[in-house]
């Protein structure tokens, strides 16, 4: 057993390291390529193309207005004699303004291009999984090597071990293990036989199969995922639309304000210089958020993609920010996928060793993690039963949902024939025994060292009389039912009491019996996922309620919930209960996040506001969910929630910052505008920044306005830092940083730029 495990583990490592390289047969693998430098030529090119006013008019009203301003100022710079009333500065000044304006626009398009490039890089890395490979197409019962591109649905291809399945299809002949780790993250090769579905881009690990191609080129599972990522950046979410409205409204208000000034100001004897007014308009309009808004949205999808989650729309990610109830499966999310045996509890008549030996025997053919952990525990405690050879060769009783137990069944006298593997294992166990000087080996009849052990003697005795031996383990209820049926003697009260004690400690009891006589209990315990408690604490801090759903009994569930610090528990839940719970919580107005992988999760996943499906799950689950985690790590939903919040906060923060900036900008430009033509002492008091001259005041305001966009690109791509804490705290902190900071920073920034400019413009 252990060796098989070790071998498998080896294989797993191997796959993780080299799996991706192994897929591609024809073209080079880009996933191992160095991270593309973030600013490449394509980004620059793209950002320049986006300066097209038609593109901006459609997609970014704020920047379009700035560009119109640029055109106006540029024309004035070329023909400064157009008007004497509205043109008051030197031609050079207008050129400077024009340059700053167009750079402002370019900064905005650049940020958008940059974020799109990042999204593309993510798409490309996924695309590299499905490449053109050579395929052995069956033509007239002969294998012809063709390019996978040329395959059509209905074509049959033969795929051998080590080769890549060219496209999605159906197995029509043969059996094989297929390595799907690059698609699903599931490390164990999956067994495929006739009528099983195979995925393009996955690799045959052993044997060979004949596959009928079912997907058209560009319509495979991978392509769908790529399509999802690409389209994810396109449609705007509700919040984005609302914010766009607000920004457009603010821009219009400022256009009216500046338009009003344009016509009114000269009646009061002030100069209505057009560049000054355009500068005021550009400064007042929310250019910062207007420029960065597209980038923030795209970056959200990219960031989630970096976590190996495919979001079907930006909507899902945003909804994640609203999530206030998380419904989590116990298994796989809060606890490791499987339980481990930690303890043997014997019944009154038996010892721990008895229980251990019986459990060992019952689990010898149990390939589940639980079974293996029982073997491991027995081996560790040296509770090896006699008659190892026979046990290994015994007929396994498979676990079924009906019986609720599994084990072995052997007639000792029967001649045993061990397979190679079993022999290897037998040798290993014997070695273990002898190494520890625990006896003279278990092979053969010399087994007196087991004499003080009741189970040993029982087994030996049964063997002696050539009686049938059935060693079983299963849930306490099931095994008890079995003993009752067989009218075997059993202290039912004791079994139940001991089982309850186990539950109280959060363990799951399994009863072990030999020929309907219960020997004792095996305590299985859930392993909490690493850091799960800390993660859930963070989630709670942001005001999210966590609900754990499990089929376990209430006692066990509650202990685990307490250990993991989950708020609510749904114990003894049936699969359909998930949907009920989701609907229940939604009707109370909660926004629900949940994780699922099974087909029976699909309705709940579809109903939940944030449904994260495991890629290892069924197609139905993936279809129903609005996000798919390629790594199949359920606890990632917490990351999604965090990201959703971050996305909204980033938008809110930069909007607030943008609006708060206007205060200082007013105090820079209004004095520049009116101070020249008045000697009103009261108005002088407005010039609180004491800028060098009207020229430098306007230039420095615009320069500040422009450079703040690239300065905030990293923030908008990365997202505002999100701390798990009560929303109140988040709000106050963000208000102080982006609201108050947004008021203060431009005062400092504009003053500094003005000082620098005054050096040159003296």
Residues 622-681 that bind other proteins (CB under 8 A): 644-649, 651-653, 655-656, 659-660, 662-663, 666, 670, 674, 678, 680-681
Binding residues for other proteins restricted to 462-481, rule: CB under 8 A: none
Pick the closer one to other proteins by CB: 394 or 664: 664
Q: Is the dihedral of CA 699, 702, 705, 710 positive or negative?
A: negative
Binding residues for other proteins restricted to 738-757, rule: CB under 8 A: 738
Place of tokens 């989590």: 328
Coil, strand or helix: which one is 5?
helix
Binding residues for other proteins restricted to 56-115, rule: CB under 8 A: 58
- Order of strands, sheet of 568-570, starting from the edge strand that comes earlier in the sequence: 309-311, 627-629, 610-614, 592-596, 325-329, 545-549, 568-570
Sketch the per residue contact string, 378 through 407, with other proteins: x for CB under 8 A, - otherwise: ------------------------------
Binding residues for other proteins restricted to 530-549, rule: CB under 8 A: 543
Pick the closer one to other proteins by CB: 322 or 501: 322
Pick the closer one to other proteins by CB: 139 or 241: 241
Q: With helix as H, strand as E and coil as C, how does 194-227 read?
A: CCCEECCCCEEEEECEEEEECCCCCCCHHHHHHH
Sketch the per residue contact string, 546 through 585, with other proteins: x for CB under 8 A, - otherwise: ----------------------------------------
Minimum distance from CB of 54 to other proteins (Å)? Answer: 10
Coil, strand or helix: which one is 340?
strand
- Near other proteins by CB under 8 A: residue from 82, 413, 683, 755: 683
Distance CA 654, CA 645 (A): 14
Minimum distance from CB of 297 to other proteins (Å)? Answer: 12
- Near other proteins by CB under 8 A: residue from 95, 160, 177, 270: 270
Classify 238 in phi/psi space as left (phi over 0), alpha (psi -120 to 50) or beta.
alpha
Binding residues for other proteins restricted to 289-348, rule: CB under 8 A: 318-319, 321-322, 324
Distance CA 503, CA 525 (A): 10
Beta-bridged to residue 568, according to DSSP, are: 547
- Near other proteins by CB under 8 A: residue from 27, 83, 731, 752: 731
Minimum distance from CB of 249 to other proteins (Å)? Answer: 3
Minimum distance from CB of 213 to other proteins (Å)? Answer: 35
- Near other proteins by CB under 8 A: residue from 587, 690, 760, 762: 587
Place of tokens 């004095």: 671
- Rounded to the nearest angstrom, the gap between the alpha carbon of residue 419 and the centroid of all alpha carbons in its chain is 43
Binding residues for other proteins restricted to 184-243, rule: CB under 8 A: 235-236, 238-239, 241-243
Pick the closer one to other proteins by CB: 415 or 682: 682
Distance CA 388, CA 90 (A): 100
Minimum distance from CB of 58 to other proteins (Å)? Answer: 5
Minimum distance from CB of 744 to other proteins (Å)? Answer: 15
Pick the closer one to other proteins by CB: 218 or 543: 543
Distance CA 722, CA 731 (A): 11
Minimum distance from CB of 248 to other proteins (Å)? Answer: 8
Distance CA 719, CA 427 (A): 58
Q: Name the catalytic one among 46, 329, 366, 695.
A: 329
Minimum distance from CB of 485 to other proteins (Å)? Answer: 51
Minimum distance from CB of 580 to other proteins (Å)? Answer: 18
Beta-bridged to residue 328, according to DSSP, are: 548
Pick the closer one to other proteins by CB: 146 or 248: 248
8 A C-beta contact, residue 391 and residue 406: no
Pick the closer one to other proteins by CB: 628 or 649: 649
Residue 403 DSSP symbol: T
Q: Angle at Cα 23 formed by Cα 33 and Cα 40, nearest 5°?
A: 20
- Order of strands, sheet of 134-139, starting from the edge strand that comes earlier in the sequence: 142-147, 134-139, 156-159, 209-213, 169-173, 197-198
Minimum distance from CB of 247 to other proteins (Å)? Answer: 9
Pick the closer one to other proteins by CB: 518 or 591: 591
Pick the closer one to other proteins by CB: 311 or 757: 311
The answer to whether residue 366 is catalytic is no
Pick the closer one to other proteins by CB: 11 or 743: 743
Stretch that binds other proteins, among 267-275, 331-339, 392-400, 744-752 (CB under 8 A): 267-275
Stretch that binds other proteins, among 134-142, 253-261, 339-347, 567-575 (CB under 8 A): 253-261
Long-range contacts of 392-396 (CB under 8 A, 24+ apart): 392/364, 392/416, 392/418, 392/422, 392/425, 392/426, 393/417, 393/418, 393/422, 394/364, 394/365, 394/469, 396/365
730 scored as a contact of other proteins (CB under 8 A)? yes
Distance CA 540, CA 726 (A): 9
690 scored as a contact of other proteins (CB under 8 A)? no
268 scored as a contact of other proteins (CB under 8 A)? yes
Minimum distance from CB of 757 to other proteins (Å)? Answer: 24
Stretch that binds other proteins, among 245-253, 344-352, 426-434, 503-511 (CB under 8 A): 245-253
Q: Angle at Cα 711 formed by Cα 707 and Cα 716, nearest 5°?
A: 130
Pick the closer one to other proteins by CB: 470 or 730: 730
- Near other proteins by CB under 8 A: residue from 203, 529, 590, 636: 590
**Closest-CA residue to 136 (of 210, 67, 189):** 210
**Closest-CA residue to 159 (of 29, 218, 17, 148):** 148
722 scored as a contact of other proteins (CB under 8 A)? yes
Helix-, strand-, coil-residue percentages of the chain, each rounded to 5? 55, 15, 30
Which residue stretches of 157-200 are H helix?
A: 181-184
Binding residues for other proteins restricted to 495-534, rule: CB under 8 A: none
Pick the closer one to other proteins by CB: 522 or 672: 672
Residues that bind other proteins (rule: CB under 8 A) add up to a total of: 72
Minimum distance from CB of 270 to other proteins (Å)? Answer: 7
761 scored as a contact of other proteins (CB under 8 A)? no
8 A C-beta contact, residue 169 and residue 152: no
- Near other proteins by CB under 8 A: residue from 260, 398, 448, 688: 260
Q: How many CB atoms neighbour CB 391 within 10 A?
A: 27
- Near other proteins by CB under 8 A: residue from 48, 75, 245, 451: 245
Distance CA 49, CA 437 (A): 79
Distance CA 173, CA 331 (A): 36
Sketch the per residue contact string, 135 through 174, with other proteins: x for CB under 8 A, - otherwise: ----------------------------------------
Task: Cite the active site residues.
Answer: 329
């Amino acid at each position: 057993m252990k060796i098989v495990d070790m071998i498998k583990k080896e294989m797993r490592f191997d796959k993780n390291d080299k799996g991706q390289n192994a897929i591609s047969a024809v073209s080079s693998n880009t996933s191992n390529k160095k991270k593309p430098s973030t600013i490449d030529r394509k980004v620059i090119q793209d950002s320049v193309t986006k300066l097209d006013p038609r593109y901006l008019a459609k997609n970014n009203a704020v920047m379009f207005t700035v560009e119109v301003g640029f055109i106006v100022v540029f024309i004035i710079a070329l023909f400064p004699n157009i008007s004497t009333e509205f043109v008051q500065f030197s031609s050079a000044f207008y050129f400077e303004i024009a340059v700053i304006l167009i750079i402002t626009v370019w900064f905005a398009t650049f940020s958008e291009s940059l974020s799109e490039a990042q999204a593309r890089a993510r798409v490309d890395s996924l695309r590299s999984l499905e490449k053109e490979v050579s395929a052995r197409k069956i033509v007239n019962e002969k294998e012809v090597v063709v390019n996978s591109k040329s395959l059509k649905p209905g074509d049959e291809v033969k795929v051998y071990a080590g080769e890549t399945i060219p496209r999605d299809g159906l197995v029509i002949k043969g059996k094989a293990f297929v390595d799907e780790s690059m698609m699903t993250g599931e490390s164990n090769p999956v067994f495929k036989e006739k009528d099983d579905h195979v995925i393009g881009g996955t690799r045959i690990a052993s044997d060979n199969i004949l596959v009928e191609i079912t997907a058209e080129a560009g319509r495979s599972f991978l392509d769908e995922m790529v399509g999802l990522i690409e389209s994810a950046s396109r449609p705007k979410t509700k919040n984005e639309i609302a914010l766009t409205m607000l920004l457009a409204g603010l821009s219009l208000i400022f256009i009216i304000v500046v338009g009003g000034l344009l016509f009114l100001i000269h009646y009061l004897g002030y100069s209505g210089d057009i560049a000054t007014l355009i500068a005021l308009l550009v400064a007042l309009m929310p250019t910062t958020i207007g420029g960065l808004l597209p980038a923030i949205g795209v970056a959200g999808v990219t960031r989630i993609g970096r976590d190996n989650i495919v979001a079907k729309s930006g909507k899902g990610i945003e909804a994640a920010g609203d999530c206030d109830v998380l419904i989590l499966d116990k298994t796989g999310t809060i606890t490791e996928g499987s339980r481990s045996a930690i303890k043997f509890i014997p019944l009154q008549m038996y010892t721990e060793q008895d229980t251990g030996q019986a459990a060992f025997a019952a689990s010898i053919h149990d390939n589940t993690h639980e079974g293996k952990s029982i073997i491991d525990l027995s081996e560790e405690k040296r509770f090896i039963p006699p008659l190892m050879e026979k046990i290994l060769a015994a007929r396994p009783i498979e676990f079924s949902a009906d019986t609720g137990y599994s084990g072995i069944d052997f007639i000792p006298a029967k001649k045993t024939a061990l397979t190679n593997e079993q022999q290897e294992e037998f040798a290993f166990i014997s070695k273990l025994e002898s190494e520890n000087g625990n006896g003279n080996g278990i092979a053969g009849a010399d087994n007196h060292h087991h004499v003080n052990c009741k189970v040993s003697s029982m087994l030996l005795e049964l063997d002696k009389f050539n009686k049938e031996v059935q060693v079983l383990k299963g849930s306490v209820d099931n095994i008890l039912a079995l003993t009752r049926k067989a009218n075997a003697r059993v202290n039912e009260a004791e079994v139940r009491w001991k089982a309850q004690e186990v539950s109280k400690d959060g363990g799951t009891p399994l009863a072990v019996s030999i020929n309907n006589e219960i020997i004792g209990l095996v305590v299985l315990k859930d392993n909490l996922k690493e850091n799960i408690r800390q993660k859930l604490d963070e989630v709670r801090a942001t005001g999210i309620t966590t609900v754990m759903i499990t089929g376990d009994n209430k006692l066990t569930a509650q202990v685990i919930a307490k250990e993991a610090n989950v708020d609510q528990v749904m114990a003894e839940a049936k699969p359909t209960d998930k949907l009920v719970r989701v609907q229940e919580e939604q009707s109370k107005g909660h926004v629900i996040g949940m994780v699922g992988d099974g087909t029976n999760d699909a309705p709940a996943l579809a109903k939940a506001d944030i449904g994260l499906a495991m890629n290892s799950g069924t197609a139905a689950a993936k279809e129903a969910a609005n996000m798919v985690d390629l790594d199949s790590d359920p606890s990632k939903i917490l990351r999604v929630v965090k990201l959703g919040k971050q996305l909204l906060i980033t938008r809110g923060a930069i909007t607030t910052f943008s609006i708060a900036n206007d205060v200082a900008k007013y105090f820079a430009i209004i004095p520049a505008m009116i101070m020249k033509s008045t000697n009103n002492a009261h108005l002088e008091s407005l010039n609180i920044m004491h800028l060098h001259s009207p020229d430098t005041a306007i230039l420095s305001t615009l320069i500040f306005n422009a450079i703040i966009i690239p300065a905030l690109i990293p923030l908008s791509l990365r997202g505002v830092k999100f701390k798990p804490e009560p929303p109140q705290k988040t709000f106050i902190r963000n208000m102080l940083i982006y609201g108050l900071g947004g008021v203060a920073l431009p005062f400092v920034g504009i003053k500094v730029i003005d000082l620098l400019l005054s050096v040159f413009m003296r």
